[in-house]
Amino acid sequence: MPTPAVHIGPQDDPQLTEAVERGGGRVVPLADAEALVVVGGHGDLPDLHDAIRWVQLPSAGIESWVRAGVLDHDRTWTSATGAYSTSVAEGAVALLLAGVRGIGRAARATTWDGEALDGVQTTLRGATVAIVGAGGIGKAMIPALLGLGARVLAVTRRGLPVEGAYETWAADRARDVFAVADHVVLAAPATADTAALVGADELTALGPQGWLVNIARGSLVDTDALVTALREGTIAGAALDVTDPEPLPDGHPLWTEPRAIVTPHSTNPSTLRVPLLAERVQENVRRFAAGEELLGLVDLDAGY
């Protein structure tokens, strides 16, 4: 088995260095590298030379690199898709449950009102939760949702059956789930097809008991339509880990909207992320050394 020569950059990272070594590689200067593990998530990239055959990006969503135009067909690119799935999925379930059970409102209260949450709370038991973009993260939500007594309607690119979902729809029907589901979780990649997927019509279809959870990207939701829907009670609420614009500016109506919960793009916090990325790097270095297919291969045409 060869020992892959891997560069970690632009910055060094001791946990990733260990991961490369546990995977059977060695960490080398950029000039000597045949593979690159990218640290930091904002489209930065060291200068690539021709000997670099594989680049491991550190995040699941890679649109900042797509926008920067740095992805090429000269080598293999992998994202961290799936590596953080369980952590992000847990955050998404937490947001949905916090919404449905009124915890966002309760957390802001400073006086005891025993009836404050009476008309606000509903239950996931028996409810239909649609997961739009049931990839790694969406699939990782399913055991928890089933454990809570919900049923899951999955939406995937091709609509092939997803384990644990009672039905799976193809992505071209994504807008139709809002009329069928009690609650909708957005976990789809940000692409041209998903831009402003959720507008006034979808929110009206979701209805006054429905929660919208967005852990994907802010661009999937028309923020103005959402603010209006929340203010008018068109939907029960929205729990957003991502927003458009992001960061959400001070004074934005979502900060003070009682039906909204905003977390600062934090369902995948660094304290939980680094150990999971290190696991992925270790596994992919091992696969690279063995000539096996890497995890998280980027589809350059699809853009994710």
The residue ranges that bind its own copies (CB under 8 A) are 86-87, 90-91, 93-95, 97-98, 100-125, 143-149, 246-250, 255-256, 261-267, 269-272
Q: How far is the CB of 119 from its own copies (least distance, A)?
A: 6
Q: Which residues contact 113 (CB under 8 A, 6 or more apart)?
A: none
Choose, from 18, 246, 257, 279, the residue flagged as catalytic. Answer: 246
Task: Give me the helix-helix angle, 270-290 and 85-100, nearest 10°.
Answer: 150
- Report the alpha-carbon distance of residue 176 to residue 160 in Å, rounded: 17
Angle at 184 between CA 178 and CA 185, to 5 degrees: 145
Q: How far is the CB of 280 from its own copies (least distance, A)?
A: 16
Q: Which CB sits closer to its own copies, 70 or 116? A: 116
183 in catalytic set: no
Contact call for residues 13 and 281 (beta carbons, < 8 A): no
Phi–psi pair at 214, nearest 5 degrees: -120, 110
Choose, from 7, 105, 183, 217, the residue flagged as catalytic. Answer: 217
Measured from the Cβ of residue 25, the count of other Cβ atoms closer than 10 Å reads 26
246 in catalytic set: yes
265 in catalytic set: yes
Contact call for residues 167 and 154 (beta carbons, < 8 A): yes
Q: How far is the CB of 127 from its own copies (least distance, A)?
A: 11
- Report the alpha-carbon distance of residue 41 to residue 6 in Å, rounded: 19
Q: Which two tokens stand for residue 276?
A: 């999971």
Q: How far is the CB of 265 from its own copies (least distance, A)?
A: 6
Active site residues: 217, 246, 265
